[in-house]
Structure 1
Amino acid sequence: MRASCGIALCALTAACATVEDAPRGDDAYAAIPAAPAVGMDYRIAPDDVLRISIYHEPGLSLEDARVTAAGMVRMPLVGDISVAGLSAEEAGDVIAGRLGQRYLVSPQVTVFVKQAVGRRITVDGEVREPGLFPFAGRLTLSQAVAMAKGPTRIASLGQIVVVRQEEGQRKAAMFSLAAIRKGEAADPEILPGDMVIVGLSRARAILGGALLAAPALATGFIALDGR
């Protein structure tokens, strides 16, 4: 609540703030919501790697089918099939339809996304292995930090900044990984394109000391200048 009051005061007085005043507590979760219980369908993208299983047809199944830059996957018998933009279930239906036209009777096709290269996040700051990480399915803040082999020994677990691009504008919120680990706070969902920065000092360095524009505070976000 104290952080929220500080943010509101900045909005009324200076109309700007630093990254240190990124929303925290309830305001942070308004910006970067906790992950809901039900997952979202991932849409297949170029360079993703798929496992395509055809029931009772191991010779036609593929273990590592990479989606081409044009969004196609090459299948035995039927050739290239467009799958980019489809969910795994939809891609299975399309492949089954092509195989059923001439070659198989009521084929059962299952598609699983093994490597979702089209979904990437950046994890930086005080983590053991910072970098760019692809992921499939759902991802939370604690899982994102774990992908970077966890925080370093000097990391400040109460200062985890999540930066998100929305409608052409960067927005940030601050979370406590320590509270999340203790079950005292919800674990927010991380989306493709997000940047997770562990440690406030590292966030200031990475973001270049960017000012935060106060007008976006009403929505629970802090908007970063320099879109």
Structure 2
Amino acid sequence: MKTLITLFVLCMLAIAMQAKAADSGEYRLGTGDVLKISVYDHPELEKEIQVSQEGTITYPMIGTVSVKGKTFSEAEALIAKKLVDGDFIKKPNVNILVSQYKSQMVSVVGEVNHPGRFPLDSSINVVDLLALAGGISVNGGDRIFLVRDNQRTEILLPRLVSGGDGAAVLDTKLKNGDVIYVPRMAMVYVYGDVNRAGGFRLEQNMSVMQALSLAGGYTTRASHSSLVVTRTSADGKVTRMDAKPDDHLQENDVVFVPESIF
């Protein structure tokens, strides 16, 4: 239930973030970007132009302009200068917007509804990108990974929403080539003399008793004092251990409730 609430809040947060105004920030124009260029009081100069493979655009009166690698303000100033130097307009007020971001891409893989590559605009962050990917699927867990320059940063969604350590990632702007990976949800398994044996989502700091509760509790034949947890390590080693109700479980743990001998 806690995870469902977390995911609901995350979706609402994503919708709110999508509604905010875009901030040009330090985005640098690149090949393939489609620019909407206008000059105040000169409607004939309003054009939508794609940046060529060479990183240039061709604009009325001034011809070829190299814009690749420039910020919005730098490109605006360059076009304005060329208009002035050519004696076309004395004090041009140039404005550039990007109607399609195509030069830089980020990816979402794993348990999302629409995995794939997405254009990187200037203001997009982790929550925005998850929203673009259709949100986390029903099989997705409550942790995700930001992969950048071969380094993985784990992000716990409950902390992201509640304002914990992971909340700083909310304001982290994504960069070209970033990948968001959403793994399958972590599971634990409960078998033996319980009412609903099976696999269950592993919540943070879940105890043996909480897992037993999800499994419907003990049957009338169950032994309450002989619980066993089977744990498989990363190297494949299997360990069986006696368990207490308040012991914490790990991913893929198997809880077994034996039948009472009395």
User: TM-score band (shorter)?
Assistant: 0.5 to 0.7
Counterpart of 2:140 in structure 1 is 155
More helix by share: 1
Q: Do structure 1's residue 177 and structure 2's residue 177 form an aligned pair?
A: no
Identify which of 176, 180, 183 aligns with 1:199.
183
CA distance in 1, matches of 2:40, 2:24: 26
Equivalent residue of 2:141, what SS?
A: coil
Instruction: Write the mapping of 1:1-227 to structure 2, written as runs, cut at 5 A.
Output: 40-62=25-47, 64-101=48-85, 102-157=87-142, 159-165=143-149, 170-184=150-164, 185-188=166-169, 189=172, 190-199=174-183
Runs of 4+ off more than 3 Å: 182-185
**Contact 2:65/2:79 (CA < 8 Å) preserved in 1?**
yes
Deviations 1:42-85 (A, max 9, x none): 111011111111000010111x2110011111111111111111
The percentage of aligned residue pairs carrying the same residue is 29
Equivalent residue of 2:31, what SS?
A: coil
Larger radius of gyration: 2
Give the drift of 1:116: 2.1
Give the drift of 1:118: 1.9
RMSD after superposition: 2.0
Higher RCO by CA contacts (8 Å cutoff, separation 6 or greater): 1
TM-score (norm 2): 0.57
CA distance in 2, matches of 1:163, 1:48: 24
Equivalent residue of 1:145, what SS?
A: helix
**Contact 1:141/1:187 (CA < 8 Å) preserved in 2?**
no
**Contact 1:140/1:187 (CA < 8 Å) preserved in 2?**
no
Give the drift of 1:137: 0.9
Give the count of matched residue pairs.
159
Structure 1 unaligned spans of 5+: 1-37, 203-227
Structure 2 unaligned spans of 5+: 1-22, 187-262
**Contact 1:123/1:144 (CA < 8 Å) preserved in 2?**
yes
Give the drift of 1:183: 3.4
